[in-house]
Amino acid sequence: MHVKIDKRLIYANLIFNKEIKYNENIVLHPIKMSKIMDFQQFQVSITLYKDSLFQEKDVLKMTYLDFLKFTFRNKEFAEKYGMPILQVYFDFAMGLLRMACGEDAKIEFKPKSLDFTINGEEITPEIFDDIRRIIILQNDIDFDIDEFINKDTLEALEKAKEFEAKKRKEKAEIEDYIDSLIVGLKVTEEYIENMTIRKFWRYIKRINVYDSYKILKTAEYGGMVTLKEPVKDWMTSIDVADKYQNLKADEGELRSKIG
């Protein structure tokens, strides 16, 4: 019986950065900050809203893995959608798998079909989706495999995110975040290098929440301001609610196209 991979199922492994044993042949490791640059480049390959962006009937019917194979070196299809990098998404996905499975993992390909195995295990579309889920959760990637967003809504979301970024004005690169965490935690660069990506971003968020909490509490105790709502404790959940829920659509429109 196939069990759907979700956060609750693997949470005990997540909180202490433990590897996750998918089966006898495949073990997935949380990726460390030392590989953050490659990770940021490769992760786009498993976080594509395929059904939102490519509404061709044949493509809609494809599994995610079959779609990656279909786009491999497919310059014409990539140019059709103005996404030249799409033709190397399969390469990116394989790079991500190598990082997640570890240096000792043996990944072998059949050049023509692009079928591949990990430590002798044939990777089916179903197994690939399970691995995607684990990598997304294990490394705190902001993406939901099961979520459908139609094309117009997806474009609206991107514009909303751009607008939010412009409002903030400040721009921070990964090096700025690393420097900030070193200062905030009083640790070394080597310590950050060996930190998992998931924990790194959780610490960044937690420090921001803590700083805001201290400022608001100080103002409240000093009688400087009257707050409309109680100050949220800094130790509560840092998971962000979906700010764009009102823009989301259900998947009925898409399913009617597949037929």
The confidence score (pLDDT) of residue 213 equals 84
Q: Give residue 161's pLDDT.
A: 66
Read off the pLDDT of residues 69-115 as tens digits, 9 standing for 90 and up: 999 999 999 999 999 999 999 999 999 999 999 989 999 999 999 99
Q: What is the pTM of this model?
A: 0.85
Name which residue leads in pLDDT, 159 or 57.
Answer: 57
Of the candidates 42, 48, 40, 89, the one whose C-alpha atom is nearest the C-alpha of residue 201 is 40
Distance of CA 2 to the CA centre of its chain: 23
For residues 2 and 126, the answer to whether their CB atoms sit within 8 Å is yes
Give the per-residue pLDDT at 168.
Answer: 58
3-state percent helix, strand, coil for the chain, nearest multiple of 5: 55, 5, 40
> Parallel, antiparallel, or unpaired: how do β-strands 20-21 and 27-28 relate?
antiparallel
- Report the distance separating Cα 210 and Cα 29, nearest Å: 29
Phi first, then psi: give them for residue 21, nearest 5 degrees.
Answer: -85, 105
